[in-house]
């Protein structure tokens, strides 16, 4: 419950921040470039103006803090006990999604020159970060954040099915029918990486429909209505477990190569960002300092 409130707080903060900027300045952003100098707030909203420059500084600071914070927590042993890595990653994602949006407002949607390379690298980093987060979630982890093996996942799935049979008095045939919904109809080795990712996404979208099938099946078997919701919840956990068991090796493989894409864009972004900030300071664009 606390974790959901934490995520909701991050989402609401991000949405309100972006919405407030858009509501305040949308008329300026919609104006043709040639007409913008005649806008009453042009001096503040142009890229070097007080407000837009401030958004650029805030967005850049968010990106730097997000990257440094997560990298430090992940790689420096001294900080390994500071907070759950999952929560730190989620805050890293929040900062590194909101930060680029603020930088986009700083540019007033005008991209050109070497800065454009940094901006689109930043967008690529943000987009690949969303994909990376999705793949990261697919790799099961224990309570301390360590990755689980196929054997451990099989044991967990077996325990769930045994609980359905013993605790809720389901027959082995009923348990087998519920487990069948979690099994892939097509051999895993025949799936390409693209087909695997597509299956994972479709599976997430259609899981609610699968649970409806389970509830209907349980009702036909005259199961006590007060148990149906609990059984469906366990069945949903089993569907996720079976999916992770099936694709564990491929997801780990894909996640490894995701780093190969994510890291170079991050390096390019920071190198050009340093050049951009250096040039801006050299020409006297130092905001409030």
Residue range 165-204, pLDDT digits in tens: 777 777 788 777 777 766 666 666 666 766 776 777 777 7
pTM above 0.75, yes or no: no
Residue in the block written with tokens 């099989």? 154
**Among 16-20, 33-37, 70-74, 212-216, where is mean pLDDT lowest?**
212-216
Supply the mean pLDDT for the chain: 78
Decide: helix, strand or coil at residue 147: strand
- How far is the C-alpha of 164 from the C-alpha of 158, rounded, in Å? 10
User: Number of C-alpha atoms within 13 angstroms, CB side, residue 150?
Assistant: 9
- Cα–Cα distance measured from residue 221 to residue 122, given in angstroms and rounded to the nearest whole number: 54
CA separation for the pair 289, 71 (Å, rounded):
29
CA 31/CA 106 separation, integer angstroms: 15
pLDDT band at residue 37 using 50, 70 and 90 as cut-offs: very high
DSSP for residue 60: H
Query: Tens of pLDDT along 132-168?
Result: 777 676 666 544 445 556 677 777 777 877 887 777 7
Cα separation, 176 vs 242, whole angstroms:
13
The H helix count followed by the E strand count for the chain is: 9, 0
pLDDT, position 187? 64
Packing angle, helices 172-180 and 150-167, rounded to 10: 140
Beta bridge partners of 147: 141
Q: State which H helix or E strand residue 66 sits in.
A: helix 50-75
Rounded Cα distance, 136 and 86, in Å:
10
Rg for the chain (alpha carbons), in Å? 25
Rounded Cα–Cα distance for residues 248 and 274 (Å): 39
Residues 6+ apart with CB under 8 A from 79: 72, 73
For residues 181 and 239, give the distance between their C-alpha atoms in angstroms, rounded to a whole number. 7
């Amino acid at each position: 419950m606390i974790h959901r409130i934490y995520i909701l707080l991050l989402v609401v903060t991000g949405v309100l921040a972006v919405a407030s900027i858009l509501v305040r300045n949308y008329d300026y952003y919609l104006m043709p470039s040639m007409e913008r100098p005649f806008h009453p707030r042009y001096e503040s909203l142009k890229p070097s103006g007080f407000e837009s420059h401030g958004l650029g500084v805030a967005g850049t600071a968010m990106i730097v803090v997000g990257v440094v914070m997560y990298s430090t927590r992940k790689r420096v042993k001294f900080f390994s006990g500071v907070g759950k890595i999952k929560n730190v990653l989620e805050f890293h994602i929040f900062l590194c999604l909101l930060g680029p949006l603020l930088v986009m407002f700083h540019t007033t949607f005008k991209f050109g020159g070497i800065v454009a390379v940094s901006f689109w690298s930043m967008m690529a980093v943000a987009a690949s970060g969303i994909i990376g987060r999705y793949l990261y979630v697919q790799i099961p982890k224990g309570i301390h954040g360590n990755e689980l093996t196929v054997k451990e996942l099989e044991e967990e799935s077996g325990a769930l099915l045994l609980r359905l049979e013993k605790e809720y008095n389901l027959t082995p045939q009923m348990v087998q029918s519920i487990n069948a919904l979690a099994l892939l109809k097509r051999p895993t080795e025949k799936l390409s990486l693209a087909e695997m990712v597509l299956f994972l996404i479709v599976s997430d979208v259609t899981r609610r429909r699968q649970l409806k099938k389970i509830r209907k099946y349980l009702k036909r078997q005259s199961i006590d209505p007060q148990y149906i919701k609990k059984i469906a919840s366990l069945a949903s956990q089993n569907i996720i477990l079976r999916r992770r068991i099936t694709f564990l090796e491929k997801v780990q493989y894909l996640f490894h190569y995701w780093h190969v894409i994510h890291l170079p864009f991050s390096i390019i972004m920071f190198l050009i960002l340093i050049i951009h900030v250096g040039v801006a300071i050299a020409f006297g664009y130092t905001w409030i300092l």
